[in-house]
Amino acid sequence: MHAINTKKELIERLRDIRPSNSLGLVPTMGALHKGHLELIKKAASENKYVVVSIFVNPTQFNNIDDLNKYPKTLAKDLELISKVDMDILVFAPSVEEIYDDSVKAKNYDFGGLDKVMEGKFREDHFNGVGTIVEQLFSIIKPNRAYFGEKDFQQLRIIEKLVESQDIPVQIVPCPIVREDHGLAMSSRNERLSNETRLKAGFIYKTLQTAKEQFGTKSALDIKEWVKNQFLENDDFELEYFEIMDVETLTPIKSKTTNVKYRAFVAVYANEVRLIDNIALN
């Protein structure tokens, strides 16, 4: 493992590597968990070299409190990465290194993918994600980049970014990794009490039942059922539950053959915001 803090050093380091070797990128905001490790291991199995970026990107937070409370555990992260059976390059820049004087996001046209769910509740979030990911692609020029399906909307938006800007990188989607009782792994889980963390298996259980119901019930009935499940549960507050066409991220009207659907949920557990999703067909 080799940690680098500046674009200049990283570019120099990659100059000799890139022309003749495959290079994988795993972009992260640190506070690494088993889900990240799966992405890193997959990248290591498919590429000769791997860069893991660790950068808590301020422009994708619409809430300063959320940014300030985001766990920052660089020393622990580096230790975890050093256990992977490959000499990983870690890029951990400062905010100034990435944004110079102006900590601002670019404005993108994601064709409406950013107007629903996370985009609706977290204004400008995806402009911030696009800004940092585009910059990482431009500095590192990876052959492949690895993103978890837990942030499925983010994954679709990055696919759109790559397609619309003609960026020569393969986006590799990776399945959601879950804790034993079903909670999707997330850096934010660290902020839950042990008790709430155990109870949060309820979120995935609800998604699984919604999936079972998808065969026989209407989307409207499923939405109503999910809403009631959360109303009856004092530990979690539902922000949204949506059933979307995975290509367009538009809400289902009526089930259409050959269209793939996913159910998406965002939930508050006290002040901690959790998201999850499940493929329905």
Q: 154 or 206, CB closer to ligand PAF?
A: 154
Out of 32, 133, 252, 272, the only residue in the binding site for ligand PAF (CB under 6 A) is 133
Q: 71 or 182, CB closer to ligand PAF?
A: 71
Instruction: Measure Cα distances from 189 to 111, 147, 152, 231 in Å.
Output: 31, 18, 18, 22
Q: How far apart are CA 108 and CA 122, in angstroms?
A: 15
Out of 77, 114, 149, 151, the only residue in the binding site for ligand PAF (CB under 6 A) is 151
Q: How far apart are CA 182 and CA 276, in angstroms?
A: 10
Q: How far apart are CA 207 and CA 205, in angstroms?
A: 5
Q: 49 or 61, CB closer to ligand PAF?
A: 61
CB proximity list for 233: less than 8 A, separation 6 or greater: 202
Stretch that binds ligand PAF, among 129-137, 196-204, 226-234, 236-244 (CB under 6 A): 129-137
Nearest to 278 by CA among 180, 203, 227, 173: 203
129 binds ligand PAF (CB under 6 A): yes
Catalytic residue among 2, 33, 36, 125: 36
Q: Report how many helices (DSSP H) and strands (DSSP E) the chain contains, helices first.
A: 11, 9
Angle of helix 125-140 relative to helix 152-164, nearest 10 degrees? 60
238 binds ligand PAF (CB under 6 A): no
Out of 4, 81, 117, 132, the only residue in the binding site for ligand PAF (CB under 6 A) is 132
Q: How far apart are CA 93 and CA 49, in angstroms?
A: 19
In sequence order, the β-bridge partners of residue 23 are: 49
| Least Cβ distance, residue 16 to ligand PAF (angstroms) | 26
Out of 4, 14, 27, 176, the only residue in the binding site for ligand PAF (CB under 6 A) is 27
Does 36 participate in catalysis according to the annotation?
yes
- Measured between its terminal Cα atoms, the distance across the chain in Å is 40
**Interface of this chain with ligand PAF, residues 44 to 73, rule: CB under 6 A:** 57, 60
| Least Cβ distance, residue 129 to ligand PAF (angstroms) | 5
Out of 28, 47, 189, 229, the only residue in the binding site for ligand PAF (CB under 6 A) is 28
| Least Cβ distance, residue 87 to ligand PAF (angstroms) | 22
169 binds ligand PAF (CB under 6 A): no
Q: 93 or 223, CB closer to ligand PAF?
A: 93
Per-residue tokens: 220: 């409207």
Are 216 and 58 within 8 A, CB to CB?
no
Q: How far apart are CA 168 and CA 209, in angstroms?
A: 39
**Residues touching ligand PAF, count (CB under 6 A):** 10
| Least Cβ distance, residue 56 to ligand PAF (angstroms) | 8
CB proximity list for 195: less than 8 A, separation 6 or greater: none
Active site residues: 36
Contacts with ligand PAF, residue ranges (CB under 6 A):
27-29, 57, 60, 129, 132-133, 151, 154
